[in-house]
């Protein structure tokens, strides 16, 4: 497989490791401040022509970009397995998601309607004006989808994009940028700039030429980005951390709830902001649920991510694995699953812990690894109170056969994305984002192009 390379050099080098074996894969050269400024400048120069392209032509170019991604799904998936340790099944889905999101927003340029508003003395119309250069900062946990959720609607709305992948996972973004050029997206319209957060990412925040920052990552870094953007009243979207609850009522199909709970918590080795890392079970079903959960966890297939049937691969890095392991050091472990293959690599067993109290860090802190904490609740009000007892509010699940209760609880949980009798979180047709400290703004869904444009109101007098 040919590995993509970075056209930058002055910001040093990052050695990419295969998380499954810890073996070096390749060195990616990074941009420094001057190279970042030059990339932003090129995106700024490319903007007038891109925004002026006829809507139908911009749509055609985005469809052609989607087709180029589609023709390289397997290559992109293999790259992600190598760079991020994602299971091959997940990695194929992720590359397909980039294609689908591009296709979905390719329909937007021809449909991004303004309004005609009745007013006295004339005609009033609104326009969606693009912003200019949009800076997208991506974390390492889902390098492809999170990039696409930003760049596809941003480009569709007429903006140009500079995108910084996470230091650890630059390969698929670099390849997607090559595919964009091959598909006919003009030079400078979509640029991937690998580099350090404190250099490239921070420059997106401070450069006056970047008019919006879309950041996905930790709550701590996100708060700094928001403070930085305030200086220029720069538009900002934040997708941050989570500690989401999976609420299981006693009337639920307990077998289904227990069988799906590991997928909800350990998919992508738990390195998922939407992971249902807290399970709340109605007290009368608590012991039965744990009995059912144990075989589901011990049979969860932790294996070489290249294996077609692997359900979980390694963590992204030794640092991440050590941080998750430190988070459960001394905790009450109920049971755990397989650790994965012997040899090198950043492996960790999926683990179920029983918190000692509601303030136990395993219950309150986002560990971002394959750990799930389980506690009982007494009634509906107690379930809602416990689910909401967190600074986060990204996603969550409710298992019950009672539709009225499902809706009551879904409305009461302070979270941006709830699913009933499933663990679905992110569907590109629907809005995605967090309450409280899980984020600001929404991505995806039919309205995403609006958040990459300004509404302009124009009044035309008919009295003149």
Angle between helices 55-70 and 171-182 (to 10 degrees): 130
Among 34, 123, 198, 326, binds ligand NAD (CB under 6 A): 198
Site for ligand NAD in 34-93 (CB under 6 A): none
Nearer Cβ to ligand NAD, position 160 or 417?
A: 417
**What are residue 101's phi and psi, to 5 degrees?**
-70, -40
- Stretch near ligand NAD under the rule CB under 6 A, chosen from 66-74, 112-120, 139-147, 379-387: 139-147
Asked if residue 48 lies in contact with residue 170, where contact means CB atoms within 8 angstroms, the answer is no
Among 90, 191, 216, 246, binds ligand NAD (CB under 6 A): 216
Contacts of 289 (CB under 8 A, 6+ apart): 248, 254, 257, 258, 279, 281, 374
Cα 177 to its chain centre, rounded Å, is 19
Q: How far apart are alpha carbons 245 and 373 in whole angstroms?
A: 10
Please count the residues of this chain forming the interface with ligand NAD, following the rule CB under 6 A.
30
> Does 153 contact ligand NAD by CB under 6 A?
no
- H/E element, 377: strand 371-377
Site for ligand NAD in 260-289 (CB under 6 A): 273
Q: How far apart are alpha carbons 12 and 196 in whole angstroms?
A: 9
Residue 114's nearest CA partner among 131, 129, 104, 103 is: 129
Question: For 434, what's the count of Cα atoms within 13 Å in the CB-facing half-sphere?
Answer: 28
- Stretch near ligand NAD under the rule CB under 6 A, chosen from 102-110, 174-182, 214-222, 406-414: 214-222
- Report the nearest approach of ligand NAD to the CB of residue 347 (Å): 19
> Does 141 contact ligand NAD by CB under 6 A?
yes
Q: How far apart are alpha carbons 251 and 259 in whole angstroms?
A: 16
Nearer Cβ to ligand NAD, position 217 or 350?
A: 217
Q: What sign has the CA pseudo-torsion 185, 187, 188, 191?
A: positive
Among 8, 104, 140, 428, binds ligand NAD (CB under 6 A): 140
> Does 202 contact ligand NAD by CB under 6 A?
yes
Nearer Cβ to ligand NAD, position 80 or 239?
A: 239
> Does 441 contact ligand NAD by CB under 6 A?
no
Nearer Cβ to ligand NAD, position 137 or 258?
A: 137
Residue 237: strand pairing partners: 214
Of how many residues is the chain composed? 464
- Stretch near ligand NAD under the rule CB under 6 A, chosen from 22-30, 151-159, 160-168, 292-300: 160-168
Asked if residue 165 lies in contact with residue 192, where contact means CB atoms within 8 angstroms, the answer is yes
Helix boundaries (H) for 71-87: 73-84
Among 109, 153, 158, 197, binds ligand NAD (CB under 6 A): 197
- Stretch near ligand NAD under the rule CB under 6 A, chosen from 67-75, 97-105, 175-183, 236-244: 236-244
The total of other beta-carbon atoms located within 10 Å of residue 213's CB is 23
Among 77, 240, 252, 296, binds ligand NAD (CB under 6 A): 240
> DSSP E strands: which ranges in 140-220?
160-164, 190-192, 210-216
> Does 439 contact ligand NAD by CB under 6 A?
yes
- Report the nearest approach of ligand NAD to the CB of residue 170 (Å): 9
Helix boundaries (H) for 157-218: 171-182, 202-206
Among 79, 106, 137, 324, binds ligand NAD (CB under 6 A): 137
Residue 177's nearest CA partner among 59, 27, 6, 40 is: 6
Whether residue 274 lies in the annotated active site:
no
Nearer Cβ to ligand NAD, position 112 or 243?
A: 243
Among 18, 35, 239, 304, binds ligand NAD (CB under 6 A): 239
> Does 249 contact ligand NAD by CB under 6 A?
no
- Stretch near ligand NAD under the rule CB under 6 A, chosen from 26-34, 210-218, 260-268, 332-340: 210-218
Name the DSSP class of 169: -
Catalytic, out of 94, 273, 282, 366: 273
Among 61, 66, 81, 138, binds ligand NAD (CB under 6 A): 138
Among 5, 126, 218, 256, binds ligand NAD (CB under 6 A): 218
Helix boundaries (H) for 267-349: 286-298, 318-327
Q: How far apart are alpha carbons 225 and 201 in whole angstroms?
A: 9
Nearer Cβ to ligand NAD, position 158 or 195?
A: 195
> Does 450 contact ligand NAD by CB under 6 A?
no
The total of other beta-carbon atoms located within 10 Å of residue 28's CB is 25
Three-state DSSP state, 54:
coil
> Does 241 contact ligand NAD by CB under 6 A?
yes
> Does 164 contact ligand NAD by CB under 6 A?
yes
Six token digits for residue 182: 């091959």
Binding residues for ligand NAD, rule: CB under 6 A, are: 137-141, 146, 164, 166-167, 197-198, 201-202, 216-218, 221, 224-225, 239-242, 273, 366, 368, 394, 434, 438-439
Active-site residue list: 239, 273
């Amino acid at each position: 497989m040919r590995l993509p390379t970075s056209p930058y050099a002055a910001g040093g080098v990052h050695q990419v490791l295969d998380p499954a074996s810890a073996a070096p894969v390749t060195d990616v050269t990074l941009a420094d401040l001057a190279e970042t400024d030059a990339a932003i400048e090129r995106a700024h120069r490319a903007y007038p022509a891109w925004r002026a392209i006829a809507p139908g032509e911009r749509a055609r170019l985005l469809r052609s970009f989607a087709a180029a991604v589609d023709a390289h799904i397997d290559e992109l998936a293999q790259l992600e397995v190598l760079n991020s340790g994602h299971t091959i099944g997940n990695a194929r889905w992720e590359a397909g998601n980039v294609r689908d999101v591009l296709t979905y927003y390719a329909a937007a340029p021809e449909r991004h309607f303004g309004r005609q508003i009745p007013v006295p003395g004339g005609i009033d119309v609104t326009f969606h004006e693009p912003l200019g250069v949009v800076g997208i900062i991506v974390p390492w946990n889902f390098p492809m989808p999170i990039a696409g959720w930003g760049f596809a609607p941003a480009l569709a709305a007429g903006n140009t994009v500079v995108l910084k992948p996470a230091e650890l996972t630059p390969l698929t973004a670099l390849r997607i940028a090559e595919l964009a050029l091959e598909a006919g997206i003009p030079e400078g319209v979509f640029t991937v700039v690998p580099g350090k957060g404190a250099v490239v990412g921070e420059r997106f925040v401070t450069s006056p030429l970047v008019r919006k920052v879309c950041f996905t990552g930790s709550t701590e870094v996100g708060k700094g980005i928001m403070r930085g953007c305030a200086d220029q009243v720069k538009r900002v979207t934040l997708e941050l951390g989570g500690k989401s609850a999976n609420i299981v009522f006693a009337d639920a199909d307990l077998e289904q709830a227990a069988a799906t709970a590991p997928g909800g918590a350990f998919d992508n080795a738990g390195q998922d902001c939407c992971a249902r890392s807290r399970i709340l079970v109605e007290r009368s079903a608590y012991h039965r649920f744990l009995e059912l959960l144990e075989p589901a966890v011990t049979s969860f297939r932790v294996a070489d991510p290249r294996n077609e049937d692997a359900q979980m691969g390694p963590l992204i890095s030794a640092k991440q694995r050590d941080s998750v392991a430190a988070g459960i050091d001394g905790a009450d472990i109920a049971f755990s699953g397989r650790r994965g293959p012997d040899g090198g690599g950043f492996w960790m067993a999926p683990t179920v812990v029983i918190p000692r109290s509601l303030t136990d860090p395993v219950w309150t802190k986002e560990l971002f690894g394959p750990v799930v904490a389980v506690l009982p609740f007494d009634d509906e009000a107690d379930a809602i109170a416990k689910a909401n007892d967190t600074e986060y509010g990204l996603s969550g699940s409710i298992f019950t056969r009672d539709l009225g209760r499902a809706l009551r609880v879904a409305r009461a949980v302070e979270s941006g994305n709830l699913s009933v009798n499933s663990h679905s979180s992110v569907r590109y047709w629907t809005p995605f984002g967090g309450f409280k400290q899980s984020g600001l703004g929404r991505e995806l869904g039919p309205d995403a192009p609006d958040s990459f444009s300004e509404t302009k109101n124009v009044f035309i007098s008919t009295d003149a």
